[in-house]
Amino acid sequence: MKIFDSATHEVRDFVPVTPGKVGLYLCGPTVQGAPHLGHLRAALNFDVLVRWLRRRGYAVTYVRNVTDIDDKILAKSAAAGVPWWELAAHFEREFDFAYRALNTLPPTVTPHATGHIPQQIALIERLLERGHAYSDTNGNVYFSVTSLPDYGALTNQPVSELVSTEDESQIDTATEVGKRDPRDFALWKAAKDDEPSDAAWDAPWGRGRPGWHLECSAMSQAYLGDTFDIHGGGLDLRFPHHENEMAQSHGAGWGFARYWMHNAWLTLKGEKMSKSVGNVVGVRRLLEDWNPAVVRMSVVTTHYRTNLEYSEDSLKQAALLWDKFTSFLQQVPRSVPAGAGAPEVCNIYGDVEPDLARQRELTAVELPDDFVAALDDDLNVPGALPALHRALKTGKAALNSGDTSGAQQAALQLRAMLDVFGLDPHDPAWVASVSATETPGTAPSPTDTPNDSLTSLVTALLQQRAEAKAQRDWGRADAIRDLLQTHVAPVVDTPAGVQCGSVTFS
């Protein structure tokens, strides 16, 4: 198997640290807002990677973090007048809904930044001891970029050419003043009087909270060891986030990731899908009109390193493809007994196997050589698709000639290939959608619906907005309205009261 290593910019043979095992770390969401399709691209692309590695026989430890404390979360919760942890927990549930609706496998571990403060403090202490970090008089701690000779190696940027190593959204005046070099970045941010007291933790250099980059270095080492196989994430995270992660880990004396994989952007009218641009397509809104299997199909069938342009046409094409596969499979009787005489099952679900019989059935299938070769070549999904169309053509011909056995063999091979993409129509995640009409507006609902906690939170926010307006606190009222309109639904004043989605407050 070969992987394009975005650190070396070359396709390399994949050789894991431990034969037969793979450690994969994927940067997960910062739970400051509702997920849009751009967020989900990384989760979907790396979900296919995990499925393929497991299909190839590797035992995969898959770690995807949750950033549940940072500047954005604090700012948005303050603007909305809700506790920061409540806002983070709510939007984490929204991400969980999206992951389930689009049939992504659960990670082996989902570590949270707030659950690993001791590990992050220990890492800072190690960096201080090794001369790669320093503290100021206010309790902030910084990483010294010039102390590490290979800083910039991931993105091929010499330190001498850099002006800053902080993301614009993370730049904080309070932590800028204590830097010895403007290119250094914050490892620990001292507590502030205007921030919640429970958003800070005690540390040897003073009470505060971790910088954005620290958690990934600490948590990947905690669950995957000093050196692990693959670090993944979106292309926009390469700099400064991944560069700074690598610097922290190398500064600690750890080997860190041996391979770096970055998925390209999801774009809308040529621009990267981003909240800051205002061109996002929310997952819940999208699934009101489209079958989640079709949404998944539209994303995973594009090469992970190719920009994916979101459009209704691309979704329609994915819907046609899904309909072709499912229509054929519905015509073919299932072979019985499922998996009879099958070899040892390849557990693509890791430790969680909801339908072992289905997996045993599919594991017994020999995949076409060109399908295997394509996916072994840097997960070349577009190059693997001809094998699916060939199986479909063979199966249809067998059906038309009355060859039931031949049709069953072709159907099973087609399903086994689709399963690598998380799209086997017999997967419990999709069973309810297979018989539904695959046209926009008539797709089945996702397997989950907005829960009572969302209704309660929206109601509480509408009440707080009403109180703010009564007190003529227009800034706070507008902030709450903007929060709801960005992450839930438009806020509309009606004769019956204020409406936000399905919630009406009077």
Annotated binding site for Zn(2+): 27, 216, 241, 245
Any residues with CB less than 8 A from the CB of 106 and at least 6 apart, and which?
99, 350, 352
Three-class secondary structure assignment of 261-318:
EEECCEEECCEECCCCCCCCCEHHHHHHHCCHHHHHHHHHCCCCCCCEECCHHHHHHH
Q: Which two tokens stand for residue 427?
A: 């997967």
The helix/strand/coil state of 420 is helix
User: How many Å apart are CA 273 and CA 281, to the nearest integer?
Assistant: 8
Beta strand 208-210 with 227-234: parallel, antiparallel or unpaired?
unpaired
Residue type at position 466: A
**Contact (Cβ atoms closer than 8 angstroms) between residue 399 and residue 329:** no
Q: Which of 233, 261, 177, 342 is nearest to 5 (CA)?
A: 261
The helix/strand/coil state of 341 is coil
| Rg over CA atoms, the chain | 25
Residues in the annotated binding site: 27, 216, 241, 245, 275
User: How many Å apart are CA 98 and CA 106, to the nearest integer?
Assistant: 12
Residues in the annotated binding site for ATP: 275
